[in-house]
Amino acid sequence: MEQPEIVENAGLWDGRLLTFESLPSTNQWALDNIGSCLHGDVIWAARQTAGRGRFLRKWLSPANRCLTVSVVIQPESPDDFMVKTIAQTGALAVRSTLEKYSIKAMVKWPNDVLVNGRKIAGILAESESQAGALILGIGLNVNLVPGDLSCAPLMQPATSMAIEKKRTFDMGDMCARLLSELETMIGLVARERESFLINTWQKHDFLMEKRVEVRTHEGTVSGKYAGLDKNGRLRLIDDAGQERLFWTGDVSIIKEF
Ligand code: BT5
């Protein structure tokens, strides 16, 4: 297995940045090597050969064009507010990173970042129960060109920073900027908690005021999207007028004619 290049204090907080040329999946590497990881370590692979999304879906990341990182977080307690809301916090950090490059992005529950309705980034939060660690995986389409993702059918259209801005971006700068925004966002959420999370999410919420369909392994429910609850769950007012809360699922907007 390839040995990473390690840079001290270049991860999150005082963590390290561990860079690989190629890994199957940065989240999987962090899970497999959790014993040697420290709080705040960031795993970055220039190329992922088996990147994954939620529910074991594939995440496609052409070499050096999609920023694929995983952050190791060892929360003080498994009930930590941050644990429940880390995917939303990650999405908000990606959104504010993009704003720094004048790209107006919106968040879509639970883990997407969209530009003009096209997916530019996805988040995968996984936990490692023995070490009590949380792995926050982020895939951000930086320099993808049209056609890069044409090898597979996508659940929704995709875009990249390069497609939006018609220029390429330095991956190292992008990684540093993303980690800095993430550190700030995690700090804000930890200090100001649900009021900050709910309000900030609401300002950039792609689903606000929409009629949606939420699909889970238990079935599909439709109704009016009503934002996040205090634990980061999706609130839906179903067609019978009842509030329903979801920890996970896939959401799509119902087109009204
Ligand atoms: C996600 O899942 O969006 C989470 C993606 C997390 C990827 C990161 S990369 C670093 C870390 N290491 C990993 O192995 N994973 C994490 P989900 O909501 O399930 O969306 C997956 C769906 O997005 C796929 O089924 C495709 O339809 C679509 N997709 C795949 N690659 C894409 C890309 N590069 N850009 C936009 N959409 C993509």
Return the pLDDT at 147: 86
Distance 188 CA to ligand 1 centre (A): 26
Angstrom distance (rounded) from CA 127 to CA 37: 14
For residue 85, which of 210, 185, 202, 212 has the smallest C-alpha distance? Answer: 185
Q: Is the CB of 122 under 6 A from ligand 1?
A: yes
Pocket test for ligand 1, best of 27, 47, 48, 59 (most atoms within 8 A of CB): 59
Return the pLDDT at 256: 64
Alpha carbons within 13 A on the beta-carbon side of 142: 24
Return the pLDDT at 130: 85
Angstrom distance (rounded) from CA 185 to CA 94: 10
Residue ranges of the chain whose pLDDT lies below 70: 256-257
Distance 225 CA to ligand 1 centre (A): 23
Distance 60 CA to ligand 1 centre (A): 7
Return the pLDDT at 80: 81
Residue 141's CB: how many other CB atoms inside 10 A?
A: 27
Here the tokens at position 116 are 């003009």
pLDDT in tens, 40-89: 999 999 999 999 999 989 999 999 999 999 999 998 887 788 889 999 99
Q: For a pLDDT cut of 90, what percent of the chain falls above it?
A: 86
